[in-house]
A = this chain, B = another copy of it.
Amino acid sequence: MLDPMQRWRQYGEKPDYAGPLTFGGVPCTQDPAELAGFDVAIVGAPMDELVSDRPGARFAPRAIRTASCPPGPHLEAKVDAFSELRIVDYGDAAVVPAQPLVSHAAIEDTVREVVDAGLMPLIIGGDHSITAPDARAVAAKHGPLGLVHFDTHTDTGEGVFGAILSHGTVMRTIVDEGVIDPRRYVQIGLRGYWPGEPEFSWQAEQGITSLFMHDVRDRGIRDVIAQTIEVVGAGPVFLTVDIDVLDPAFIPGGTGTPEPGGMTTVELLWAARTVAAGLDVVGADLVEVIPTDVGSADPAVLAAERVVREILTGVAMRKR
């Protein structure tokens, strides 16, 4: 197993810009037999063929790994996820260009290997369509899942330009498949001009809970998250974060369908950690990041890396 820390062991840390590239500098393997003994696996899903507007999320898994800083104690939560949890970087699923169904199958296989080995998968996309294979693989073990879904958009379109396979239809697909229990499904941060009445009617029929950005603005993020945790309740949960829930100021150029008037990182980082600490999160993903700058300087990539880290911190808090 390749260990990025190997050559810097004497220092107890490694320069962010040196050594093999893994998330947070954790060891890396592509062999399922080596997953034993770990708690969480980071998996990359670099595909973006199913977007409806700006592509580029295929570059996010590498960029987010590049932006990751060393382990250390969370200064607010007082817990170091990298000490509490044994975390491994399981590389990228075997996606291929221009064949989204092949890529979805590869992602589902890789996540299933993680789940079967008893680890929690944390997948870095990729466009939001990957939540379908992600959640399917997790539900195959845990049964129907609650869903906490941070996003500008509901992604519950019946079709996008007549196509079922899209980053804009994925949530309807996995609800229809029974992977997600809609009564335990909460959307947070909705705003803008999509979708319309038909989608919201379908959502209402299903019993999905929608919390809008104006709820965050008017009621505060603490109240919104408290309601989320209450609605989802006990039982296994999938947590999916579309980075476009943040205001474009926090992710300049860094997502495919940005929508002004969104969350701040102060809100999202707290919320992601609190959800992960307060619910039985058995799988998670972070999607729709488009890297635009080199290394650790890109605000969107940085924000995404920290969201992943807050989820890990929340899981560590819950474990403790």
Chain A interfacial positions (CB closer than 8 Å to B): 2-3, 6-8, 11, 13, 15-21, 28-30, 44, 46, 48-56, 58-59, 61-63, 66, 69-76, 80, 91-100, 102, 106, 160-163, 165-166, 190-197, 212-214, 217, 247-250, 252-253, 257-262, 264-266, 269-270, 290-299, 302-303, 306, 309
For A165, list chain B residues within 8 Å (CB): 98
Cβ contact within 8 Å between B97 and A160: yes
Tell me if A55 and B53 are in contact (CB < 8 A): no
A217 touches B266 (CB 8 A): yes
With contacts A28-B20, A62-B21, A295-B54 known, is A72 near B195, CB below 8 A? yes
Complex: A17 Cα to B17 Cα, angstroms:
18
Interface pair B19/A253, CB less than 8 Å apart: no
Establish whether residues A252 and B91, one from each chain, have CB atoms under 8 Å apart when the complex forms.
no
Q: Roughly how many angstroms separate A3 CA and B51 CA in the complex, as a whole number? A: 25
Closest chain-B Cβ to A278's Cβ sits at a distance in Å of 17
Which of B69, B74, B96 makes the CB contact (< 8 A) with A162? B96
- CA–CA, A309 and B252, complex, Å: 20
Q: In the complex, which residue of chain B has the Cβ closest to the Cβ of A72?
A: B193
Q: In chain B, what residue has the closest Cβ to A100?
A: B98
A29 to B3, CA, bound (A): 10
Could you tell me the distance between the alpha carbons of A278 and B76 in the complex, rounded to whole angstroms? Answer: 28
Q: Kindly state the separation between the CA atoms of A231 and B80 in the bound complex, as whole angstroms.
A: 30
Complex contacts, A197 vs chain B, CB 8 Å: 73
Given contacts A8-B94, A249-B265, 16 further A-B contacts (CB under 8 A): A2-B30, A7-B93, A15-B46, A18-B61, A20-B91, A21-B62, A69-B192, A70-B193, A72-B192, A73-B197, A99-B162, A252-B299, A253-B293, A258-B296, A259-B306, A260-B303
Q: Nearest B residue to A190 by beta-carbon distance? A: B75
B260 touches A50 (CB 8 A): no
Instruction: Provide the bound-state CA to CA distance between A92 and B2, in Å.
Output: 13
Which residues of B sit under 8 angstroms from A303, Cβ to Cβ? 248, 260
Q: Is the CB of B217 within 8 A of A75?
A: no
Complex alpha-carbon distance, A163 and B54, angstroms: 23
Residue of B nearest to A11 (CB): B161
Out of B15, B56, B194, which one reaches A97, CB within 8 Å? B15
Q: Are B72 and A253 in contact (CB under 8 A)?
A: no
CA distance A16 to B59 in the complex (A): 10
Most buried by B among A53, A269, A309: A53
Give the CA-CA distance A38 to B247 in the complex, in Å: 33
Question: A161's closest neighbor in chain B, by CB?
Answer: B96
| Contact of A297 with B21 in the complex, beta carbons under 8 Å | no
Q: Is the CB of B260 within 8 A of A52?
A: no
Say yes or no: A161-B193 contact (C-beta < 8 A), given A7-B30, A247-B266: no
